[in-house]
Amino acid sequence: MPTPDEHENKEAFLKRVREALGRSEPILHTPDHASLKTTPPRQEEKVRTIQAKVEARRPQLIARLAEIAGAASWNVHRVNTVEGAAATVAEIAGRANAKSIVRSAEEVFSRVDVDGALRRRGLSWTVLASGGRRRRSDLKRLAFASDLGITGVTFAIAETGSCVITPRRGVARLTSLAPATLVLIVEAEQVLESLDDFFAITRLGYQRDRGRSPSYFNFISGPSRTADIEQTLTIGVHGPGEVHMVLVGQ
């Protein structure tokens, strides 16, 4: 329910904008803009084509993702099996001398037994998810105290070397933001070719779930960085300064 003051101004504001554009009447129909007008059936067809393409070219896309990400200061680890992936994650944690590990609660961990691998190394971790039981302030505190985070992704985009994180139940935003070291597990089926692929799929999701699609998602395309002092590049400011992509399968 909008608060009273929010809409007092809207009609007057829009009227001034309209008049500035030389129109007296509002536009009533969707403008002739292709991206807006694609109906759900056509969008579905588009997405099916993307999925077919991505499946057919999977090995090349994975290779491309690894190449672009590697050039963008990701540490890329390619592994063939879920066991290898789990071991790699634990090895990264070991080498980073991580004292306070957090991970999300995601489906990928039922396939990639990170918990087992960490345990075997004598490392402990916290699942940064509550399902409503953990208090907000606790979750925040734990996240800010952590030094290594592990999550899955919803997609990875080869064109830009990006991982897409979609916070939801079990996946806290801070897991991939607060720790200084971040490990993302990407499974082969999650790799897309381009930004266009990703947004076509996201749009279909939005069309299907009218207003109930993700409240927030994020691309991570490398470590946190700045060049604000003397144009000199420094890696690792507020977000993780060391990012690892564990790329499973082909």
Partner 1 sequence: MAEVKTAEFKQASGRAIRNPGIQHALDHVMSHFTEARAAVIEADYGDESWESMRTRAAALKSHTIERLDYYLDLVDKNVRRNGGHVYFADDAAHANRIVLEIAERAGVKRVIKSKSMVSEEMGINPALEGAGIEPVETDLGEYIIQLAGETPFHIIAPAMHKTRQEVSDLFQDWLKTAPTDDIKRLCVIARDALREKFEAADMGISGANFVVAETGTVVLVTNEGNGRMTTSVPRVHVAISGMEKILPAMEDLPLFLRLLPRSATGQRITSYNTFVGGPRAASDEDGPEEFHLILVDNGRLNLLKDEVLREALNCIRCGACLNHCPVYRKIGGHAYGWVYSGPIGAVVTPPMTNTKIARDLPFASTLCGACRDVCPVKIDLPRLLLHLRQRVAEGDGVDGPANGWSERAFARRWYNAVKTRKALESSTRLARMLQRPIVRRGVIRKLPLPLVAGWTKDRDFPALAPKPFRQRWREGLGGD
Of 21-29, 76-84, 94-102, 183-191: span binding partner 1 (CB under 8 A): 21-29
Spatial distance between the Cα atoms of 35 and 27, rounded to a whole number of angstroms: 18
* Residue matched to tokens 């990928």: 108
Considering only residues 35-54, where is the footprint of partner 1 by CB under 8 A?
A: 35-36, 38
- Check residue 144 for interaction with partner 1 (CB under 8 A): yes
Minimum Å gap between C-beta 122 and partner 1 is 27
Q: What strands lie across the sheet with 155-157, from one edge to the other?
A: 162-165, 155-157, 191-192
- Check residue 100 for interaction with partner 1 (CB under 8 A): no
- What is residue 199's three-state secondary structure? helix
- Check residue 216 for interaction with partner 1 (CB under 8 A): yes
- List the x/- string, 194-213, binding to partner 1 by CB under 8 A: xxx--xx-xx--x----xxx
Of 50-58, 79-87, 109-117, 136-144: span binding partner 1 (CB under 8 A): 136-144
**Count residues contacting partner 1 (CB under 8 A)?**
83
Q: DSSP letters along 14-58, please?
A: HHHHHHHTT-SS---S--S-HHHH--HHHHHHHHHHHHHHHHHTH
Of 75-83, 95-103, 117-125, 154-162: span binding partner 1 (CB under 8 A): 154-162
